[in-house]
Amino acid sequence: MAYQAPVNDILFALRSAGGLDQLIENGVYEGLDLDTVEAVLSEAGRFAGEVLEPLNRPGDRQGSKLVDGTVVTPDGWGEAYRQFTEAGWSALPCPEEFGGQGLPGIVSSAVCELWNASNLAFGLCPLLTQGAIDAIHIGGSEDLKARFLPKLVSGAWTGTMNLTEPQAGSDLALLKSRAVPQGDGTYRIFGTKIFITYGDHEMVENIVHLVLARLPDAPEGTRGISLFLVPKLMVNADGSLGSRNDVVCGGLEDKIGIHASPTCVMNFGEKDGAVGYLVGEENKGLATMFIMMNAARLAVGVQGVAIADRATQRAIAYANERRQGRSMGGGEGPVQIVEHADVRRMLVTMQAMTQAARAICLVTAREADLAQRASDAEARQQAQARAALLTPVAKAFSTDIGCEVASMGVQVHGGMGFVEETGAAQYYRDARILPIYEGTNGIQAIDLVARKLPLGDGKVLRCYLQDLGAIVKDVRESNRPEFGHMGERLGEALAALGEASMWIGEQLKKNPEAVLAGASPYLRLFGITAGGCYLAQGALLAARDGVETDAARYVGLARFFAENMAVAAPGLAQSVMGGADSLMSIPTSRLSI
């Protein structure tokens, strides 16, 4: 079935949870208006549906292949990429001084969803390039920026992020790749990197690798890691391409999904070393990397939303087509399975979870925007802190939702979901990478409890919970019968989140292991509470001010989420606060085979 960009749902999330109207009114997004946002989304949606979606399944079936040392992407991939860049999509969120369009992050995040919904394996290529652009923009010298950014922004070249090594995944302190200074300002890089997305391919003439490596005299651990720019082909001072650099793709991984996206083993310096340029300061590569990684983590969260939305669309289409069983009210012949209450529960759950995760991602993008654009320094700082708080939730909650919704999508299809023919299967397979890459969801949960909750001595979190509390208060005071128990359930969820947060605050120093044992259920608790509140904010907007379309649906989704998803909150809080004791009562020796 054709891909329909969820323009209405995205706009609604931008306006309700994202507060876009007010931000435009306040002049935060200079030159932007709602009509422009809608036009960009519609146009991107058209491109996604007409160009990217038709390649999704054939690309999965064919996969990228390593042929004579070069990665060959599936048929049509290169042409689609050419159209993508010619239409200017790669430049959308990029700095204007390097040829970008400087669209705010909240809008480019929304657009990013469309690429990844229609074709996740394709969407990864600009996503990673964006990461490289960010890293160079943050840490690169003027010369590096001038030489590399215009081509990356235009999409003439693509970029990669090279962090992982066989022995160093979540733990970057263990990385071994070496960088040897040449005395002329350049370095030679030696080492093997794995899991490098689009590490090589034939769609563009050059690829710009951002690579973490150690200098000879670097301290051990994470304080001795530097970041280097290593082009596939050397770039002369005049911008022309020179000789091949000493970096090659040594192999491709055979994966559960995203078959069209080449996951490369990259070998640097098999001959005399790959020429690299330092980005940022020596031994401070991780700092640059982490700034860039926050954006990438949010983008991966958006991928979770994307795959969830696409899986939901396909499941709804199938449920409206497939006829089995009788309706409860009797009637002639078999009914569309969307009529069955259990199928409806799945479809509504899928929609509600998707919209909740979408709201969390867009709010995170807004805060990242405000960290740059807010008029006074304090507001910028507050927004920066809130973006930091929400980023692990946006990444982990949304990608868990992506997997869960994709799995429900298979289930709605029944036996047809398990066969590859319908496409539901591919979403299930593709989605599974999302909780893993760009920092596993466990790492995100640990980041949330151990680094983000203590921000500003807990004040960042407290202010956030107060804001959620204001939404719950509005819902309760609205006294609308169509809201059902929405206010009550969200109030209970927020209380549970508050209690669990307090407990973490008390235990973090005393008993850090207990806190870490509860990190994952805490992140889930955070996600369903925040997501429920954002949907409720939408319900308030829809019910009070009315919206053009779908007001009843947005109220229904918010109520359903509160009464069916958010009700898990008290149990999750118990798991956060009480889980560690029993966990630790099982001797580690019993966790070995």
Tell me which residue of 549, 560, 573 sits closest to 500, measured CA to CA: 573
- In degrees, to the nearest 5, what angle opens at C-alpha 477 toward C-alphas 354 and 365? 35
Q: Residue 34 or residue 256: which is nearer to a copy of itself going by CB?
A: 256
Q: Which stretch binds a copy of itself (CB under 8 A): 139-147, 295-303, 459-467, 553-561?
A: 553-561
Per the CB < 8 A criterion, the answer to whether 56 and 69 are in contact is no
Q: What is the pattern of x (binds a copy of itself, CB under 8 A) and - over residues 247-286?
A: ------xxxxx-----x-----------------------
438 is catalytic: yes
Among 76, 458, 505, 579, binds a copy of itself (CB under 8 A): 579
Cα–Cα distance measured from residue 159 to residue 164, given in angstroms and rounded to the nearest whole number: 16
The minimum distance between CB 369 and a copy of itself, in angstroms, equals 31
410 binds a copy of itself (CB under 8 A): yes
480 binds a copy of itself (CB under 8 A): no
342 binds a copy of itself (CB under 8 A): yes
Q: Residue 27 or residue 334: which is nearer to a copy of itself going by CB?
A: 334
The minimum distance between CB 222 and a copy of itself, in angstroms, equals 11
403 binds a copy of itself (CB under 8 A): yes
CA distances from 85 to 91, 136, 137, 515 (A): 8, 20, 20, 46
Among 325, 456, 467, 473, binds a copy of itself (CB under 8 A): 325
Per the CB < 8 A criterion, the answer to whether 445 and 519 are in contact is yes
Q: Which stretch binds a copy of itself (CB under 8 A): 269-277, 367-375, 441-449, 464-472?
A: 441-449
Among 58, 219, 456, 571, binds a copy of itself (CB under 8 A): 571
Among 307, 519, 540, 542, binds a copy of itself (CB under 8 A): 519
Where in 198-237 is the site for a copy of itself (CB under 8 A)?
A: none
Cα–Cα distance measured from residue 453 to residue 444, given in angstroms and rounded to the nearest whole number: 12
Other beta carbons within 10 Å of 327 = 13
Q: Which of 113, 165, 339, 438 is catalytic?
A: 438
Cα–Cα distance measured from residue 272 to residue 265, given in angstroms and rounded to the nearest whole number: 19
Cα–Cα distance measured from residue 136 to residue 140, given in angstroms and rounded to the nearest whole number: 4
Following CA atoms 25, 30, 36, 42 in sequence, which dihedral angle do they give, to the nearest 10 degrees? -110
Q: What is the pattern of x (binds a copy of itself, CB under 8 A) and - over residues 146-185?
A: ------------------x--xxxxx-xx-----------
The minimum distance between CB 520 and a copy of itself, in angstroms, equals 6
Q: Which stretch binds a copy of itself (CB under 8 A): 31-39, 44-52, 203-211, 422-430?
A: 422-430
Q: Binding residues for a copy of itself, how many (CB under 8 A)?
A: 107
Secondary structure (3-state) at 262: coil
Q: What values do phi and psi take at 13, rounded to 5?
A: -65, -40
Radius of gyration of the chain (CA): 24
DSSP string over 317-338: HHHHH-B-S-BTTB-SSPPBGG
Which single residue is written with the structure tokens 């706009």?
11
Residues labelled catalytic: 438
